[in-house]
Structure 1
Amino acid sequence: MLVRIVKMGFYRQNVDVFLESFENNKTKIRNSNGCTFLELYRDKNNPTILFTYSYWESDAQLQEYRQSKDFKTLWKTLKPLFSIRPEAWSFDKLETLD
C-alpha cells in the first residue's frame, strides 16, 4: 500500500474556492481505481495550508490517476490558487496500530 501526502498553500482568498472544488471532486478521487482512503486536513496554525492524505493500492494506480483527464482538469483549475509550490510525498505503509 502506498500513502500519498500532498501539502498545498493557498492565497487566503482562494481557500474557499479550493474547499468547494474538493467537495465537488472528493468522491470521484476516492472512487478512482486503486484509491482506498482519502482525507483532507488543514494546518491548525495557518488556515491557508491544507493537506490531502490518501491510500493507493499501488504506485501504478496513483500514476494512472495522475495521468487521467479528471486529474489534469482539476490540477489546471487549482494551480492558479496556490501561494506556494505544492509538495508531495509517497510512503510505503509498514504498520498500523489501532
Structure 2
Amino acid sequence: MLVRIVKLGFEDQHIETFLENFHKNKNAIRNFKGCEFLELYRDKNNTSVFFTYSYWQSEADLENYRHSELFKGVWAFTKPLFNMKPEAWSVDKLESLQ
C-alpha cells in the first residue's frame, strides 16, 4: 500500500473556493480505481495550509489517477489558488495502531 501526502497552501480569499471544489470532487477521487482512503486536514496554526492524505493499492494506481481527466480537471482548477508551491510525498505504511 502506498500512502500519498500532499501539502497545499492557499491565498486566504481562495480557501472557500478550494473547499467547495474538494467537496464536489472528493467522492470521485475516493472511488477512483485503487484509492482506498482519502482525508483532508487543515493546519491548526496556519489555516491557509491543507494536507490531503490518501491510500493507494499501488504506485500504478496513483499514477493512473494523476494522468486521469479527473485529476487534470481538479488540478487545473486548484493550481491558480495556491500561495506556495505544493509538496507531495509517497510513503510506505510500516505500522498502524488502533
Q: How would you bin the TM-score normalised by the shorter chain?
A: over 0.9
Q: Deviations over 1:32-56 (max 9, x none)?
A: 0000000000000011000000000
Q: 1:4 is matched with which residue?
A: 4
Structure 2 residue 93 is the aligned partner of structure 1 residue 93: yes
Correspondence list, 1:44-63, <5 A:
44-63=44-63
Tell me the percent identity.
61
Report the secondary structure of 1:84's partner residue.
Answer: coil
Structure 2 residue 49 is the aligned partner of structure 1 residue 72: no
Q: Distance in 1 between matches of 2:96 and 2:12?
A: 35
Task: Could you list the structure 1 runs, at least 4 aligned residues long, displaced by more than 2 angstroms after superposition.
Answer: none
Q: 2:37 is matched with which residue?
A: 37
Aligned residue pairs, count: 98
Unaligned runs of 5+ in 1: none
Instruction: Name the aligned partner's letter for residue 28 of structure 2.
Output: K
RMSD: 0.4
Q: Normalising by structure 2, report the TM-score.
A: 0.99
Report the secondary structure of 1:38's partner residue.
Answer: strand
Q: Normalising by structure 1, report the TM-score.
A: 0.99
